Amino acid sequence: MNKFITFSCLIFLAVNSAFADNSLEITTLEIQKSFNIKQRFPGKILPLNYSKLAFEVAGKIDEVKVDIGDAVKFGDILAFLDPAEMRASLNQAIARYDLADQALNRFKDLKQKGFISNQELDRANSDYLIAKAQVDFYSVKLEQTKIRAPFDGFIQNRFFDSGTVTSPGIAILEIIDSTSVEVHVSVPSNVIQGLTIGEEYSFAINSESYPAKFKRFTQMSSQGSDNRLCIFEFDTFINPGSISFLQLNQTKEKRGAWVPLKSLSQGTQGLWNIYTVTKDQNNKYRVAKEIVELIYVEGNNAFISGTISNGDMVVSGGAEQVIDSEILNVN
């Protein structure tokens, strides 16, 4: 933020001698070719991965091995169904497979000796392949009686306990990633144009600052606004659910100057007025009204543009005491 060069001088209103002493606060303008703006956009931190875990086959829950808040590793068994029925089916399939394997070997031997036809050998080979596929099928089904952790994480919710009869697809546990988090921020389209995918940007979280990489953004808004959802990923783990603020410092190329906000008064057609103080040929201080454009406001200060020059003296305090073209007596 540019510092204002501000001074006060004690003046009397020459147009009306009945006024008491009046003090005007004067700001000397410093023209700039650009200005910096600070913007903050709130966002919610979410786990990079989030899953509701369910069994892929029906059955009675034998055990749920974890509870809310437990840390788990990729591949850990979190819960499993009673495997008795599926194990019995697998054992039957293995027995049929062994029988088909033995039969195929005998048929191969008989074929070499010329006792059977090619068709009979093909049928034995087909029976063998079907039996093998059944073993593979029930091996997969037996594995599906278990729920394994799909990634390192924390158990967020537990919905059922042991003894519950469940169907495929019904959520048993809820798990969130414990290694990485991302933040979802709604950002105006014109601001996104100044962001670069792959670059890191600063986020404020509980008075601390953390970098996050800009990953992607949605191409359109589902709510009809000009904002887009932007996704940033943190390198460090931060508790999901926290509120963070994207902090952007951008430079805008625009000629103008900073003035106190109180020096502006509402004009017409969206423009604003300021009062400048200049010396005329008779060394008298004269007040002149200038029409300016309000570009940006930050706190109690405003960046303006218009027919202003470097070193112009602007009335920034006590402006209500002067009028356009007024001549001031300055002590």
Those residues with Cβ within 8 angstroms of residue 213's Cβ, 6 or more apart along the chain or in another chain: 198, 199, 200, 232, 233, 235
Q: Give the domain CATH number at 281.
A: 2.40.420.20
Angle between helices 84-113 and 118-143 (to 10 degrees): 160
> Is the confidence at residue 4, as pLDDT, over 60?
no
> Is the confidence at residue 210, as pLDDT, over 50?
yes
**Residues 173 and 203 occupy one common structural domain:** no
**Residues 246 and 299 occupy one common structural domain:** no
Q: Give the domain CATH number at 99.
A: 1.10.287.470
Within-domain flag for 26: no
pLDDT given for residue 142 in this prediction: 96
Total domains in the fold of the chain: 4
Within-domain flag for 13: no
CA distance 182 to 44: 8
**Average pLDDT over the chain, rounded to an integer:** 85
Q: Give the domain CATH number at 66.
A: 2.40.50.100
pLDDT tens-digit profile of 92-149?
A: 999 999 999 999 999 999 988 888 889 999 999 999 999 999 999 999 999 999 999 9
**Residues 204 and 121 occupy one common structural domain:** no
Within-domain flag for 30: no
Q: What is the pTM of this model?
A: 0.64
**Residues 89 and 136 occupy one common structural domain:** yes
Those residues with Cβ within 8 angstroms of residue 147's Cβ, 6 or more apart along the chain or in another chain: 53, 54, 55, 77, 78, 79, 80, 172, 173
Within-domain flag for 15: no
> Is the confidence at residue 234, as pLDDT, over 70?
yes
Within-domain flag for 288: yes
- Name the CA dihedral angle for 196, 202, 204, 209, rounded to a multiple of 10 degrees: 160
Within-domain flag for 10: no
> Is the confidence at residue 275, as pLDDT, over 60?
yes
Quick check: 155 and 174 in contact, CB under 8 A? yes
**Residues 196 and 216 occupy one common structural domain:** yes
Within-domain flag for 7: no
**Residues 245 and 137 occupy one common structural domain:** no
In the listed set 163, 178, 193, which residue is the last one of a domain according to the structure? 178
Range of the domain at 306: 254-328
Within-domain flag for 140: yes
> Is the confidence at residue 7, as pLDDT, over 70?
no
**Residues 61 and 172 occupy one common structural domain:** yes
Distance from chain centroid for Cα 85: 47
